[in-house]
Amino acid sequence: MENDPPEDADARGTIDLVGHVIVPARELDPLLTPVSNVIVTAKTSTGAWIEAISRLIGPARARFRSTYFQWAMAINGLHLAADRYAQKDFNANKQFIITGIRYDNAANKHTKVNLAEWGGEKAASAHRATIPKMAAWGYIEMFAVLEKFVFEMYREFLGYQPETIIDGPDFAALRRLRREAENDKVKQEEWEKAWAARLDAWHRKRLYDSLHKVFRAFFAVSGLREPKRFTKTTVDSWAETIEGIALVRHLLVHGEDTVPEPLERFCGKPHNLGFNFKAGSPLRVDLVHLQSVETFCHELLNALNESLVEHPDAMK
């Protein structure tokens, strides 16, 4: 039906509103076709991980932008609804109704009831008061999308470099199975199952680490660096920005109402995303903060793409 949610939306309701198109370089006119990222094709297994991660950038960019779009539309919709309910014709003749479910003793079942019946002025005020909630939860989801991408590219890398997390005596059997799988299809299936379990266990454990530490670890183990032309930001400054984004998210998730000193210190850094939180003041997030996070994610993908192109394994 027309009002049903899209079938391809994820568990949080995020759907790709942007999309991306892969254009072969031979068909590309750089003067006519804007390019947001380059897929670094590989000739051998050496450069395969570079290609795989570069292929993640387009979908990730669409996911970042689509998530922001949805929350921006939700906030815009609240503004429009508040304006509509404040109009005289609605306020004089209609009621805004919120329904819910309650148990009906007489009917011996749960039934739909009206939990609120508001006039236009009350409805308009309530819609405006809900805007900060949308901004806060939009911010939380923007971080979740960033977290998903960092682990997505790290996992992709590990898929091509599994020895990175199967070193040491605890994984001797797993390393042996990997060697045996190179010439045995039965062992190959066994290896793939065992590797998937190991990778998932690694992922679950690393989720307890701060995301900026996971981000730094990925760059360290992969050998990726900031692009050569960069002079103002580095991998460390990107990680510090992720740490600042994560701090705000942590405060929102745990219901903190006041800006702590660590957040003010982050705001004093050159790479503070334009945040200007002051210690001791009320913690408030609005659409501008979502815009700042989306911009950072967009620019991070640009930098990552250049870093991939410059890596010694690129195009090998």
| pLDDT 10s digits, 120-133 | 999 999 999 999 99
Summarize pLDDT for 23-39 with one digit per residue, the tens.
665 554 555 555 568 88
How do residues 225-279 score in pLDDT, each as one tens digit? 999 999 999 999 999 999 999 999 999 999 999 999 999 999 999 999 999 999 9
Distance CA 115, CA 118 (A): 10
Could you tell me if 233 and 261 are in contact, meaning their C-beta atoms sit under 8 angstroms apart? no
Q: Which residues does 274 contact at the CB level (< 8 Å), separation at least 6?
A: 288, 292
H helix runs in 86-165, sequence order: 88-93, 120-160
User: No. of H helices and E strands in the chain?
Assistant: 9, 2
Q: Look up residue 264 and give its amino acid.
A: E
Q: State the Cα–Cα distance between residues 66 and 144, nearest whole angstrom.
A: 13
Contact 17, 70 (CB under 8 A): yes
Tens digit of each residue's pLDDT, the chain (316 residues):
455 656 677 788 778 888 777 766 555 455 555 556 888 899 999 999 999 999 999 999 999 999 999 999 999 999 999 999 999 888 777 899 999 999 999 989 999 999 999 999 999 999 999 999 999 999 999 999 999 999 999 999 999 999 999 999 999 999 999 999 998 888 999 999 999 999 999 999 999 999 999 999 999 999 999 999 999 999 999 999 999 999 999 999 999 999 999 999 999 999 999 999 999 999 999 999 999 999 999 999 999 999 999 999 998 9
The pair phi, psi for residue 149, each rounded to 5°, is -70, -40
Query: Do 18 and 292 contact (CB within 8 A), yes or no?
Result: no
Q: What is the rounded (10 degree) CA torsion for 57, 151, 15, 5?
A: 160
Distances (CA, A) of 291 to 54, 210, 268, 287, 302: 24, 23, 19, 6, 17
User: What residues contact residue 16 under an 8 Å CB cut-off, 6+ apart?
Assistant: 8, 59, 62, 63, 66
Token pair for 138: 């939009």
State residue 92's pLDDT score. 75
The span from the CA of 77 to the CA of 61, in Å, is 24
SS3 116: strand
The SS3 of residue 8 is coil
Q: Does the CA dihedral 48-51-57-58 come out positive or negative?
A: negative
Residue 117: Cβ-neighbour burial (10 angstroms; 0-12, 13-18, 19+): exposed
Q: Please name the residue that has the structure tokens 């690129």.
A: 314
Amino acid at 127: H
